[in-house]
C-alpha cells in the first residue's frame, strides 16, 4: 500500500513542513557529491552510533568524540538513499501540514525535533551495543504520525493498492492506516530483538519511540480549541480528480 493523500485540507501554508523537506533534500543532494569514504565518515560522525556512548573505548579508537550529543539531532537530516528520503519526505508532506495547523509553526518545529530526539534515544536503548549509524527523519515523522492519529482519527487516507499489477485507489480511515502501521513496527521491532543480525537495517524502535512520544507530547503542543478557527472537522466533503 502506498499513501497518496489525506482528506483534511490545510488552513495555513505549512512553512515548517516545507522547510524541513527542503533542508533534508539539500542535505541529501550534498551527500550525493561525496565519495563512499566521505559519506561513511559523515554517517559515523553525524549519525547516532550507540556504541559511541556505551563503549567509549571503541569510540576513541575510531576517532569519535564521546561527549558530542549533536548526532541525536543531526542524524534526522541524513538519509541513506533515494528511496529512504523520498518515502520519508512524502510521509512528512502528507501528515505534517495538518499537525502543523493544530500546533502553530514554532511549536510544530520544537515538537518535530523532540520526537526525533526521543526516537534516537529509543533506538539507543534497544540497540545499545550497535556500531551501525542510525540516520533518517522517520523517527521524527513517526511522532507527527502519532499526533495525526489522535487529532484526525476519522480522516481518510487515499491509498494506492496494486492488485495483479492494476492500480486501485481505496480510502482507509486514518486510525486504521496508522494503527496498522504502528502494529507492524511493533511486531518488527520485537522480532528484531531476537535476531542476531549486526548489519544495517530498519530502526524499528526509533519509529515506535517517535510515534508514542508524539502522542504523549500532543497535549502540550497543540493549540487550545479557541486558538484556531474550526476550518475543518472529521467529516470532509471532497472531489477526487
Q: Are 79 and 137 in contact (CB under 8 A)?
A: yes
How big is the chain, counted in residues?
A: 241
Adjacency order of strands within the sheet including 156-163 = 2-6, 156-163, 166-173
pTM of the model: 0.89
Domain ranges of the chain: 2-224
pLDDT tens, residue order, the chain (241 aa): 788 999 998 889 999 999 999 999 999 999 999 999 999 999 999 999 999 999 999 998 888 888 899 999 999 999 999 999 999 999 999 999 999 999 999 999 999 999 999 999 999 999 999 999 999 999 999 999 999 999 999 999 999 888 877 888 899 999 999 999 999 999 999 888 777 555 567 899 999 999 999 999 999 999 876 555 554 444 443 333 3
Report the C-alpha gap between 49 and 135 in whole angstroms: 9
Closest CA to 111 of 82, 86, 145, 77: 145
Residues 6 or more apart in contact with residue 91 via CB below 8 angstroms: 3, 138, 141, 145
Query: Do 105 and 16 form a contact (C-beta atoms < 8 A)?
Result: yes
Q: Which residues pair with 166 in a beta bridge?
A: 163
Task: Report the C-alpha gap between 101 and 14 in whole angstroms.
Answer: 7
Check whether domain 2-224 has CATH 1.10.260.40, yes or no:
no
Amino acid at each position: 500500500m502506498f499513501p497518496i493523500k489525506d482528506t483534511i485540507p490545510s488552513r495555513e501554508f505549512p512553512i515548517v513542513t516545507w522547510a524541513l523537506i527542503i533542508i533534508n533534500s539539500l542535505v541529501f543532494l550534498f551527500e550525493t557529491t561525496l565519495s563512499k569514504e566521505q559519506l561513511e565518515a559523515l554517517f559515523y560522525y553525524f549519525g547516532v552510533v550507540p556504541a559511541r556512548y556505551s563503549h567509549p573505548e571503541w569510540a576513541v579508537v575510531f576517532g569519535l568524540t564521546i561527549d558530542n550529543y549533536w548526532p541525536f539531532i543531526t542524524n534526522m537530516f541524513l538519509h541513506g538513499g533515494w528511496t529512504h528520503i523520498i518515502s520519508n519526505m512524502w510521509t512528512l508532506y502528507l501528515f505534517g501540514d495538518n499537525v502543523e495547523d493544530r500546533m502553530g509553526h514554532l511549536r510544530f518545529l520544537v515538537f518535530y525535533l523532540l520526537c526525533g530526539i526521543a526516537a534516537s534515544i529509543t533506538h539507543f536503548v534497544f540497540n545499545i551495543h550497535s556500531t551501525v549509524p542510525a540516520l533518517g527523519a522517520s523517527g521524527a515523522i513517526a511522532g507527527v504520525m502519532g499526533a495525526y492519529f489522535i487529532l484526525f482519527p476519522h480522516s481518510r487516507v487515499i491509498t494506492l493498492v496494486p492488485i495483479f499489477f492494476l492500480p486501485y485507489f481505496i480510502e482507509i480511515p486514518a486510525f486504521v492506516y496508522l494503527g496498522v502501521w504502528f502494529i507492524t513496527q511493533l511486531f518488527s521491532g520485537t522480532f528484531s530483538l531476537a535476531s542476531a543480525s549486526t548489519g544495517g537495517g530498519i530502526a524499528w524502535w526509533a519509529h515506535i519511540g517517535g510515534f508514542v512520544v508524539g502522542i504523549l507530547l500532543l497535549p502540550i503542543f497543540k493549540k487550545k480549541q479557541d486558538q484556531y478557527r474550526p476550518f475543518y472537522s472529521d467529516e470532509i466533503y471532497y472531489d477526487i480528480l
